[in-house]
Structure 1
Amino acid sequence: MTNEEIQYKKNLPDKSISDFVECFWMIENTTGIEKEVIVMPDANFDLVISKDKDEPFQIYLLGLGTLYDKRKMEANTKMFFISFKLLAAEYLFHQSIAHLLNEFQKLPDDYWGFKQTDLDDFDAFCIKAAQIIKQLLPDDIDSRKQKLFELIYSSNGEMTIAEFSEKTFWNSRQINRYFTKYFGISLKVYCNFLKFRVSFEQIKKGELFPELNYSDQAHFSREVKKLSGVSPRELSRNENDRFIQVSAINNK
């Protein structure tokens, strides 16, 4: 007998790394059959370790998504994710991820000391990953960048570029130049993805009206359809458990 649902689990980071890590989460297809899933932009980039029937073990860096994407998940596939906030690109990975929009970068199989047996226990993986990240934390961070990202996440992306600039004492043109260089998109575009991600939880509850700074219901519906391919109502139904970021909410 097969389990009809894909399995999910999610753990939050402790405060010491929360400026860099959004969450740890896992997805495992224990159904015994191939399943179609849909991945949506969620304002994070990810380090992924996985195994499936074709690749017993691999590690890769998954860049920011700007489009929804239908994918096939093979039976018996297991994937662990570290979902990173943007500050991690420069200060943990020491690289731009602009070239990874909707793309991935294969990493060495021993990257950060991970190995195949780490996929045996998700909670142990989270502890190990957190320890590695703590060792990689920089001694100094540009105070303007630190303040900017604090404001971005605490406001759920609802402040204007002018407001971000005023509160960080950082020219708006310089901010957008930084975003383009490191992330391949403008701050305004990124904030739209963040607002969309924040709406996942309310949509899963069946609350289909805009809670954030959308001009009206029609604007909210258009944005959801553009980034998920479906209306808020259909996303809330999540038929066949296929919208994986919605399915993973509250699965801890």
Structure 2
Amino acid sequence: MRTPDSIKYKVIKPEPALSDFVEGVWMLENTADTAHDIVVLPNGRFDIIFLILPNGPYHAAQMGLETEPSQASIPAKAILFAISFKLLAIEYLLDKKAASIVNTAVVLPNDFWGITTANLNSLENFYEKVSVKMISLIKPGIDSRKQKLFDLIYSSKGVLSVRELSEKVFWSSRQINRYFNEFFGISLKSYCNILRFEESLPYITAGKLFPELNFTDQNHFIKEVKKYSGVIPKELFRNKNDRFLLFHPMPKK
């Protein structure tokens, strides 16, 4: 499975000061003269996106977590610059709960973070501008339980149970779920399931259409893939019309 030649994608890994909050800073360009229809898949992150259309101003939006696949379209000759955030950023960088924007988005002002068209002429310029801004926004006094919780969730690729996570961070599952629902709009278990699905995508793109990440069995794997993509693993692999842009957030080492 490949990305269509008309779609250009590039990502920069965040510097260490932002590694707890940011997955990557990236750009995507549709170089074709026609729009490209896609299916947006849940990936366990939320994004701030700056969309540039030909001969027009840019538009900024904050995207909430996705819990289901959705239809979208990349306009002809459009360029997107974006930041993909880890969940800890909601409370300690953006200082704004995202529970109300699950499966939707909120429009941001055109002067958000002081971004101008001059910052959107290359990924490198965009990365430099937003990195300085994000570092300045990080709040002190991060709760060590939350930091450890997210370290475990990401390092385990979502396969640890709620009970295991709760015991490892000495924080009750009830309190963790209250925190998740209040700040992110979903439960911890739901989030881990989404993350595990997203982490399965590199295997599926490689043609490995069987469980790799602690799914109960093949039927469970197929059911989860269909829940979050709308199709079974085989169809996701075939990727008819290149509608699934299966970018993993960062290249595997």
Q: Same fold (TM over 0.5)?
A: yes
Displaced runs of 4 or more, over 4 A: 247-251
> What TM-score do the two structures reach when normalised by structure 1?
0.93
The 5-angstrom pairing of residues 69-80 of structure 1 reads 69-80=70-81
- Partners of 1:126 and 1:76 in 2: how far apart? 21
SS of the aligned residue for 2:246 comes to helix
Q: Deviations over 1:140-196 (max 9, x none)?
A: 101111111111111111111111111111111110000000011100000000001
Give the structure 1 partner of residue 88 of structure 2.
87
Paired residue type of 2:155:
S
1:24 CA displacement: 1.5
| Unpaired stretches in structure 1, ≥5 consecutive residues | none
The 5-angstrom pairing of residues 85-164 of structure 1 reads 85-164=86-165
Q: Percent identity?
A: 46
Give yes or no for contact 2:41–2:229 (8 Å, CA) kept in 1: yes
Give yes or no for contact 2:48–2:82 (8 Å, CA) kept in 1: yes
Paired residue type of 2:223:
R
Give the structure 2 partner of residue 198 of structure 1.
199
Give yes or no for contact 1:32–1:76 (8 Å, CA) kept in 2: yes
Please report the RMSD computed on the Cα atoms of aligned residues, expressed in angstroms: 1.9
- Partners of 2:82 and 2:48 in 1: how far apart? 6
Give the structure 1 partner of residue 177 of structure 2.
176
SS of the aligned residue for 1:70 comes to strand
Give the structure 2 partner of residue 52 of structure 1.
53
Paired residue type of 1:91:
Y
| Unpaired stretches in structure 2, ≥5 consecutive residues | none
1:71 CA displacement: 1.2
1:231 aligns with 2:211: no
The 5-angstrom pairing of residues 10-89 of structure 1 reads 10-53=11-54, 56-89=57-90
1:167 aligns with 2:168: yes
Give the structure 2 partner of residue 188 of structure 1.
189
SS of the aligned residue for 1:140 comes to coil
Shift of the 59–75 alpha-carbon distance from structure 1 to 2, 3 Å rule, reads same
- Partners of 2:164 and 2:5 in 1: how far apart? 47
- Partners of 1:181 and 1:58 in 2: how far apart? 28
SS of the aligned residue for 1:244 comes to coil
Shift of the 171–158 alpha-carbon distance from structure 1 to 2, 3 Å rule, reads same
- Partners of 2:37 and 2:248 in 1: how far apart? 13
1:250 CA displacement: 5.0
- Partners of 2:154 and 2:74 in 1: how far apart? 31
Shift of the 105–133 alpha-carbon distance from structure 1 to 2, 3 Å rule, reads same
- Partners of 1:203 and 1:73 in 2: how far apart? 23
1:239 CA displacement: 2.8
- Partners of 2:124 and 2:65 in 1: how far apart? 25
> What TM-score do the two structures reach when normalised by structure 2?
0.92
Q: Deviations over 1:29-80 (max 9, x none)?
A: 1111111111100000001111125962111110001111111221011111
SS of the aligned residue for 1:139 comes to coil
Give yes or no for contact 1:51–1:77 (8 Å, CA) kept in 2: yes
SS of the aligned residue for 1:88 comes to helix
1:247 CA displacement: 8.1
Paired residue type of 1:78:
I
